[in-house]
Amino acid sequence: MDVNPKKILLVEDDTSMGFLLVEFLESNGFDVKLYKDGLQGLNAFNSYKFDFCILDVMLPGLDGFSIAEKIREKDKEIPVIFLTAKTFKEDKIKGFNLGVDDYVVKPFDEDELLCRIRAIMSRCDPVVQPVYCADEYTIGGFVFDYKNQLLKIKEESKRLTYKENEVLKMLAASKNELVKRDDILNSLWGDNDYFNSRSLDVFIAKLRKYLKADSCINIENVPTVGFVLKDV
């Protein structure tokens, strides 16, 4: 298991599709940052280190072709996939001439997209040995094995996704203390906008579900401020 997941820049202005893709890709071991505006996506690329880019073509602010052109000016090697409803041959040729690696037409099958991503990565990326972390936390009757993304209680264990693992680590490292919502969002999503905030709420709900086997544990919501992982 790779504990240093590949980081994907996803620029998609369809909120529902973006959310579903984030959930799907993170459940398959990737770390995904979603932006719904072309300029925001390009700014994120210039501000953070990514291993892969997935770009919608029709975007507010800056279209996918323009983003890809700017990305290629800065980085000739990073893989780029276009997602688009446009099927004209001229658009595909334009994309490939910009140096993109693949062109996926909507609607598409998520498993097929995953196979395309992995195939491109296997061709483009060198093999990197993961750096392991030995962090382990006790949360009530649970043992949280951060290194292996496992949450264990008695004989049962739950494998966490990358983002679930990171959110829980931030809470567990400050158990019984307030962890600010903005700190989690900026650290793990790179932005504290409305969409990412709602995504965080989904992950918190999932973690509450996983932890309900121990009634002494609760993730308390401090409205508009943050969360406290209570272990009493």
Domains of the chain: 7-124 (3.40.50.2300), 136-231 (1.10.10.10)
Specify the pTM: 0.57
Contact (Cβ atoms closer than 8 angstroms) between residue 225 and residue 185: no
Query: Who wins on pLDDT, 115 or 134?
Result: 115
Query: Who wins on pLDDT, 140 or 128?
Result: 140
Give just the sign of the alpha carbon dihedral 85, 8, 186, 27. positive
**Predicted confidence (pLDDT) per residue in 69-109, tens digit:** 999 999 988 999 998 876 667 777 777 787 888 888 888 88
Q: Residue 158 and residue 111: Cα distance in Å, rounded? A: 23
Q: What's the confidence (pLDDT) of residue 196?
A: 83
DSSP 163: H
